[in-house]
Amino acid sequence: MKEQINAYNNVLELIGNTPLIKLNKITKNLKGNFYAKVEAFNPGHSSKDRIALYIIEEAEKKGILTPGDTIIETTSGNTGFSIAMVSIIKGYNCILAVSSKSSKDKIDMLRTMGAKVYVCPANVSADDERSYYSVAKRLHEETKGSVYINQYFNQLNIDAHYNSTGPEIWEQTKGQITHLVACSGTGGTISGIAKYLKEKNPKISILGVDAFGSVLKKYHETKEFDNDEIYPYRIEGLGKNLIPTATDFDVIDKFMKVTDEESAHTARELAKTEGLFVGYTSGAALQAVKQYDLEGEFDENSNIVVIFPDHGSRYMSKVFSDDWMSEQGFFDSVNIEQQQQIEFIK
């Protein structure tokens, strides 16, 4: 008998079971022990691989999807990439309706992964027939055997994390986690993990991260939807201008808002101190950790798990570009040590 070759059957088998990595230097002046759940280790480089696989497999179990059918979503971001990846392996068509604001790089990336991309005008209202919401809805209605992922309003988004990320964190920390810090966009990540952890130990604190310019924190505190909270900001994937049903506000204890500028510097600091090249919202999450520490949230015995949702490579023309940082004015108040690290030999 020949020995079995040690290989995965396909890329999807690598989704989930991401590592927990201790943070050392960047948290040395904070109280507690800090561990990052680094979702960039998923094959599609983000936590969205989990929901793409979970939602598609649930549809398969219910008999809604059979090979050759179509999966539809409205995103140019991580979720789009993950859905395209899962669709390729499982033999589905993938349609993504995206805003004309999406960068060419992102659209090229999705097309490389086999998705059909509809680029819809950004400057129309959501109920306009040309908006990416309307286009996705229409294509879903017109395409027999199609599934609309609709991540902001899909309970399965929460269930994906309840069934995978939550149990992984409980197991990895041997039940010793005291605090979870996670960004909220659709809310699926924080809600699913929180639901699982609170069932295991209701004393675990669930600390959310929100952006200035988003309604989530105020809504959580007052149940009021305040339009005045809404204004443009730069961090992608964090916060929202509507209330997603994929967020279970009851399992979240608090929210902290972070700025674009501080989150950007913290993302860069993570690379320089911990060697972790992770995305803008990972910087936002660690920025929130620093602010929660200042508010006295943690003590020496705290075991804090912070979710890092994706990889830094997706932000080369943004947070990790000195030009972009300068254009935003993010270097105005700090010493530009970055620019001392490059020398051009002529």
Residues that bind ligand PMP (CB under 6 A): 77-78, 183-190, 237-238, 279, 281, 309-310
Catalytic-role residue among 28, 31, 37, 48: 48
Instruction: For ligand PMP, give the closer residue by CB, 160 or 177.
Output: 160
The DSSP code for 123 is: T
The C-alpha atoms of residue 93 and residue 116 are separated, in whole angstroms, by 8
- Alpha carbon dihedral 213, 218, 224, 226, in 10-degree steps, equals -20
The C-alpha atoms of residue 18 and residue 308 are separated, in whole angstroms, by 11
Inter-CA distances, 244 with 152, 184, 195, 343, Å: 5, 10, 17, 47
The DSSP code for 259 is: -
Q: How far is the CB of 206 from ligand PMP (least distance, A)?
A: 13
* Residue pair 282/267 in contact by the 8 Å Cβ criterion: yes
Q: Is 116 helix (H, G, I), strand (E, B) or coil?
A: strand
Q: How far is the CB of 267 from ligand PMP (least distance, A)?
A: 11
DSSP string, 97-109: EEETTS-HHHHHH
Instruction: For ligand PMP, give the closer residue by CB, 33 or 96.
Output: 96
Q: How far is the CB of 188 from ligand PMP (least distance, A)?
A: 4
DSSP string, 306-329: EEE-BBGGGGTTTTT-HHHHHHTT
Instruction: For ligand PMP, give the closer residue by CB, 32 or 187.
Output: 187
One-letter amino acid for residue 331 of the chain? F
Instruction: For ligand PMP, give the closer residue by CB, 32 or 239.
Output: 239
Instruction: For ligand PMP, give the closer residue by CB, 278 or 325.
Output: 278
Q: What are 63's two structure tokens? A: 């008999």
Q: How far is the CB of 49 from ligand PMP (least distance, A)?
A: 12
Instruction: For ligand PMP, give the closer residue by CB, 187 or 213.
Output: 187
Q: How far is the CB of 230 from ligand PMP (least distance, A)?
A: 17
Instruction: For ligand PMP, give the closer residue by CB, 18 or 281.
Output: 281
Helix (H) or strand (E) holding 270: helix 260-274
At 198, phi and psi to the nearest 5? -65, -30
Establish whether 48 is a catalytic residue. yes
Q: How far is the CB of 9 from ligand PMP (least distance, A)?
A: 27
> Whose structure tokens read 């979970």?
54
Inter-CA distances, 151 with 69, 91, 187, Å: 19, 21, 9
The DSSP code for 46 is: B
Using alpha carbons only, how large is the chain's radius of gyration in Å? Answer: 20
The C-alpha atoms of residue 215 and residue 243 are separated, in whole angstroms, by 8
Pairing of the two strands 93-99 and 116-120: parallel
Residue nearest to ligand PMP (CB): 237
Q: How far is the CB of 185 from ligand PMP (least distance, A)?
A: 3
Query: Which residues are paired to 97 by β-bridges?
Result: 118
- Residues with catalytic roles: 48
